[in-house]
Amino acid sequence: MPNAESTPAHAALIRRLVGAVRRQVAWTVLHNQTIADRLGMGVTDLHCVNLLDIEGPMTAGRLAELMGLTTGAVTGVLDRLERAGALRREADPADRRRVVARLVPEGIERVRAAYAAVGSGVEDLYAGYDDAQLAFLVEHAERNAELTRRITTEMRLRDPGTARESEGRLSAPLGDVTSGRLEIVASVVRMRIDSNREMPDLYRASFERRAPRIRVGGGTVNLTFPGLWHAGAGRGQVTLNGAIPWALDIRGGAADMDLELSALTVSEMTMTGGASKVDFQLSRPVGTVALRIRGGASRVTIRRPAGVPVRVRVSGGLSRLTLDAQRLASSGAGTVRDSLGYEAAVDRYELSVEGGASRITVQQA
């Protein structure tokens, strides 16, 4: 009789089991995202709550190790959860010099209630197995969890600081970041960028089709789309944390782009590689804020708050420029136009248009 492990039937069962586990993991991730959305919290914060609920109280350092985050980022997570009443910090009984995070029963009840449906369903499923089957499932789950933990730890050591997701919603914790930088590399179409001052994350993003490779580090969020111009590349939305100032660097061109930045402090903005049908809604600047459009532009509209002055500097030629009440049919290289009060203002915008452009409109909101 051949060894069962070498038979085609055994190999087929292994493939089915691996596929089933992958589906379970995928739906668990989506379920956690749904729970986080329902509770109005970030996925990273929810992971922290679940770890504390499963493993018990622990220090920020231990949480950072388990979650693969910096201690500063974990401190930001704990700050948000403490403000929300989900946990408290207290002295470690084993070492009074250390502080541990402990869940508050009243605060954690909402999270447990959100998981109640799936928890009840799983308990009903397990109730149909006898003791021997349950003992086998326990052993399998414990060994599988340890295997996943070990592989995850090894992956973090090999490639730290890189976040890659092929599709769906993406985010990163704000942590101790005090200023941000958004870099978008390659041509994108139909993308919206906006802000949210209240969210706990540095950024959040969602994409309809092809999602980019994302790298996050030191407050910089880099979105890189492979190739040159893929149909639908970039189609989606990026929301930036509006509590910190941001620099924007969009390289490779953009079309049908909506930048709703009226609640975001922009420290500078550069768009390289051409822009077509791009609409900017800006907030009040702090100091002189440079806006640069390089490589050609067409049908670009920039709206700023009333009373905020702006200078438009053209190099390469511009076929039509509208600056508030001023309308120029043609502007050659070296053209400079200021709105009322620009020279005397401290807080103002300076727009540089390089490489030739047509139909640029700069107006007050």
Amino acid at 104: V
Is residue 166 domain-shared with residue 124, that is, in the same domain? no
CATH code of the domain containing 37: 1.10.10.10
Of 280, 262, 263, whose CA–CA distance to 271 is shortest? 280
Is residue 118 assigned to a domain? yes
Cα 12 to Cα 5: distance, rounded to the nearest angstrom: 11
pLDDT at 167: 33
Q: 113 and 69 in one domain?
A: yes
Structural domain boundaries enclosing 287 = 162-364
Question: Are 212 and 281 part of one and the same domain?
Answer: yes
Helix 43-55, helix 8-39: angle, nearest 10: 110
Residues 287 and 201 in one domain: yes
Q: Which of 264, 232, 233, 227 is nearest to 247 (CA)?
A: 264
- 154: in domain: no
Query: Is residue 153 included in any domain, yes or no?
Result: no
Same domain, 238 and 298: yes
Give residue 164's pLDDT: 37
The answer to whether residues 167 and 121 belong to one domain is no
Question: Tell me, what's the pLDDT at 332?
Answer: 62
Q: Are 118 and 170 in the same domain? A: no
Helix (H) or strand (E) holding 302: strand 297-304
Half-sphere exposure of 57 (CA within 13 A, CB side): 16
Tell me, what's the pLDDT at 158? 57
Give domain status of residue 18, yes or no: yes
**Joined tokens for residue 134:** 């349950």
- Which of 81, 111, 128 is the last residue in one of the domains? 128
Question: Please, which residues bridge with residue 348 across strands?
Answer: 288
In a domain, 318, yes or no: yes
Give the pLDDT means over successive 10-residue stretches in the chain (365 positions): 65 86 84 80 85 89 79 78 87 78 85 80 86 90 84 64 41 88 81 91 80 81 65 73 94 85 95 85 96 85 95 80 80 79 95 81 90
**In this structure, is residue 146 part of a structural domain?**
no
Shared domain check, 116 and 14 = yes
110 and 178 assigned to the same domain: no
- The answer to whether residue 197 is domain-embedded is yes
**Cβ burial 34-51 (10 Å sphere, 16+ → b, else e):** ebbeebebbbbbbbbbeb
88 domain residue, yes or no: yes
Domain count, the chain: 2
And the tokens for 209?
Answer: 């089709």
According to the model, what pLDDT value does residue 209 have? Answer: 61
Residues in the chain, overall count: 365
Examine the domain organization and report whether 171 and 112 are in the same domain.
Answer: no
- The DSSP-derived string for 260-301 is EETTS-EEEEEEES-EEEEEEEE---SSEEEEEEES-EEEEE
Write out the two tokens for 40: 């109005």
Domain match, 10 and 65 both: yes
Q: How far apart are CA 73 and CA 27, in angstroms?
A: 26
Nearest to 222 by CA among 270, 178, 183: 183
Q: Among 105, 128, 151, where does a domain finish? A: 128
Q: Do 216 and 92 reside in the same domain of the chain?
A: no
Q: Which of 86, 104, 128 is the last residue of a domain?
A: 128
